[in-house]
Structure 1
């Protein structure tokens, strides 16, 4: 794997994990939003990641000749969680139904915090990989001195 390929892989992972952290932050911020523009409670959003392949002819040919697969990660899509909403009894709430229940978003802040820690750890791991790559490149450049 070449130096630039390693940079691209770590860079794509950093971008994907930052986007994932942004979506998780939106989920936490809207964990009490009972009315959205659609009319219902906020629906939790999830990020789907997938392998990113460089599909240009040059890259495919180089991969086949070196017998290596160089890729990365990218955000495939953002989907809404299908978990049902939570009914909370609060008859004084303006969005309460005739029985006094308010439909709350399907966001569990504990689960969101765990997802945020996971994304943050993955982000930190990719920063560490980039720093190791930078150290190797610096050492390689110092060989010629």
Structure 2
């Protein structure tokens, strides 16, 4: 049953990492149109999640972890809107560097990874339950 414990730990680490990823993607989508409050100021800056691998010495298994949540340093697109409160002296407004299509694709991928890790937990639970049932019949 030690291998099931390891599978559960690895899947749980994946669930935690994908939860963070989904939270960050949701924040990006929610702020896709958030401009600065002052003229010429910077708008919302897209956030990125980077994953890493860490060794669980007790089970000798590699678990996934969130290395960092950092900002995306790509350039802000601009839009000409002289009436906007955040417009600079030339009438351009910096828009967030968030592409909603990319965020939706990232969200879909994170959701699928989350579901895969959840399925591992369900299978491990079923195997443990079946093992207990076998032990009872003896």
- TM-score normalised by L of structure 1: 0.86
**Aligned twin of 1:66:** none
Which residue of structure 1 aligns with residue 26 of structure 2?
25
Match for residue 43 of structure 2 among 25, 41, 44: 41
CA distance in 2, matches of 1:3, 1:15: 18
- SS of residue matched to 1:78: strand
1:103-114 map, 5 Å: 103-114=94-105
1:4, distance to aligned residue in structure 2 (A): 1.4
- Contact 1:23–1:47, Cα closer than 8 Å, also in 2: yes
Q: What stretches of structure 1 move > 2 A for 4+ residues in a row?
A: none
For structure 2, list consecutive stretches of 5 or more residues without a partner in the other structure: none
2:65 to 64, 67, 74: 74
Which residue in 1 is equivalent to 2:3? 2
Q: Following TM superposition, by how much is the alpha carbon of 1:36 offset from its aligned partner in structure 2, in angstroms?
A: 6.7
Alpha-carbon distance, 1:78 to partner: 0.8
Question: How many residues align structurally?
Answer: 133
Q: Are the aligned partners of 1:46 and 1:80 in contact in 2 as well (CA < 8 Å)?
A: yes
Mapped to 1, the partners of 2:89 and 2:61 lie a distance apart of 58
The Cα offsets for residues 36-65 of structure 1, whole Å up to 9 and x where unpaired, read as 79x52111000001112124xxx3xxx6xx
Aligned 1:1-145 pairs, distance under 5 A: 2-35=3-36, 39-55=41-57, 59=58, 69-144=60-135, 145=137
Pick closer, same or farther for the CA change 1:77–1:36 going to 2, 3 Å: farther
CA contact (8 A) 2:50 2:67 kept: yes
Partner Cα distance (2:69, 2:117) in 1: 22
Structure 1 gaps, min length 5: 64-68
